[in-house]
Amino acid sequence: MRGCFNNISNVVVALVVCAALSQAAFAAGAEPAKDVLIDPAPCVAAAAADDNDRIVGVCGALIDHEKTDKADRIKALIARGGAFGRKDMIDRAISDYDTVLRLDPAQADIFNARGELWRKKGDRPKALADFGAAIKLNPDHATARGNYKSLAQELERLGALKAVAGKPSFNCATARRPVEKAICANPELADLDREINAVNIRVIGEARSPGDARALQREQNTFIARRNAEFGRPGCDMRKEMKERLQKLVGVDGY
């Protein structure tokens, strides 16, 4: 009996040991790992250092990591969008800001930043809409208000310019000189003539003295007389002459 009991005891001990080992193995292999969020510190450091290339790399990793916290992802997108903008990668910057605004549509600064990118890209209607959205979220947003005002004025000015596009400073219906008829027939030359006249008037109006004003007008009269006399002669490039005159006037104007 003792031998039999001893054998049973040995089996029980073996089973207990086996169960313990099995439980340990299960705990080691089957227990789900704890979620560990990716560290945002490298992205924050790169943004603080204004290191655009590093921002794109480390903040990109933070953005793409599935376990990144929403707030950290938004900050990383804003940082990378700014870096893309400074690198003149406008479409990628806009894409990052699009994602930010999907995650948090109350970001007035990002509406304004995206508006500036749209404006840089030449899409004025989208830019104006973004500036307006920023102001709606934050009526005290000074930068967005300034951007909205300047763009609205620009659009108004473009509308006015469109109304006179292709029209010179004089009335084509009464044009008699061959050079004037040529200018009326060419929208580019007509625009140049109108710009030359407008800048000349402004320069004369801002002259420091009556004597300076008279001298400036004499220069303009000389240019027109030479233009009229040389038109049609071999080697005459009226477009070139008019552009040079405009550039000279713009230089006098201080721009």
Residue 125 token pair: 């209607």
Mean pLDDT, the chain, whole residue set: 83
Mean pLDDT of 236-251: 90
CA distance 201 to 204: 5
pLDDT one-digit tens code per residue, 178-204: 999 999 999 999 999 988 988 888 888
Closest to 148 (Cα-Cα) out of 182, 171, 187, 119: 119
Please give the pLDDT value at position 85.
Answer: 95
Please give the pLDDT value at position 252.
Answer: 57
Please give the pLDDT value at position 207.
Answer: 82
More confident residue, 223 or 152: 223
Q: How confident is the model at residue 161 (pLDDT cuts 50, 70, 90)?
A: low
Cβ atoms within 10 Å of 148's Cβ, excluding its own:
21
Residue 30 one-letter amino acid? A
Helices (H), the chain: 2-30, 41-48, 52-54, 60-64, 70-86, 90-103, 108-121, 124-137, 142-164, 178-185, 187-205, 210-230, 238-252
Q: Residue 251 contacts by C-beta under 8 Å, 6 or more apart in sequence?
A: none
CA distance 92 to 98: 10
Mean pLDDT of 5-16: 38
Q: Which residue has the tokens 């003295």?
A: 209
Please give the pLDDT value at position 160.
Answer: 66
Please give the pLDDT value at position 200.
Answer: 85
pLDDT at 23 over 70: no
Cβ atoms within 10 Å of 127's Cβ, excluding its own:
24
DSSP code at position 232: T
Please give the pLDDT value at position 139.
Answer: 87
52, 55, 61, 67: CA torsion to nearest 10: -150
Please give the pLDDT value at position 169.
Answer: 85
pLDDT one-digit tens code per residue, 77-129: 999 999 999 999 999 999 999 999 999 999 999 999 999 999 999 998 899 89
Q: Which residue has the tokens 């340990």?
A: 24
Q: Which residue has the tokens 């109304």?
A: 163
What percent of the chain is predicted at pLDDT more than 90? 54
Please give the pLDDT value at position 159.
Answer: 73
pLDDT at 19 over 70: no
pLDDT one-digit tens code per residue, 59-73: 999 999 999 999 999
pLDDT one-digit tens code per residue, 26-57: 444 444 433 445 789 999 999 999 899 999 99
Domains of the chain plus CATH, in order, are 41-162 (1.25.40.10), 172-252 (no CATH)
Please give the pLDDT value at position 202.
Answer: 82
Please give the pLDDT value at position 239.
Answer: 92
Please give the pLDDT value at position 112.
Answer: 96
DSSP result, 187-224: HHHHHHHHHHHHHHHHHHHT-SSHHHHHHHHHHHHHHH
Lowest mean pLDDT among 14-23, 111-120, 139-148, 233-242: 14-23
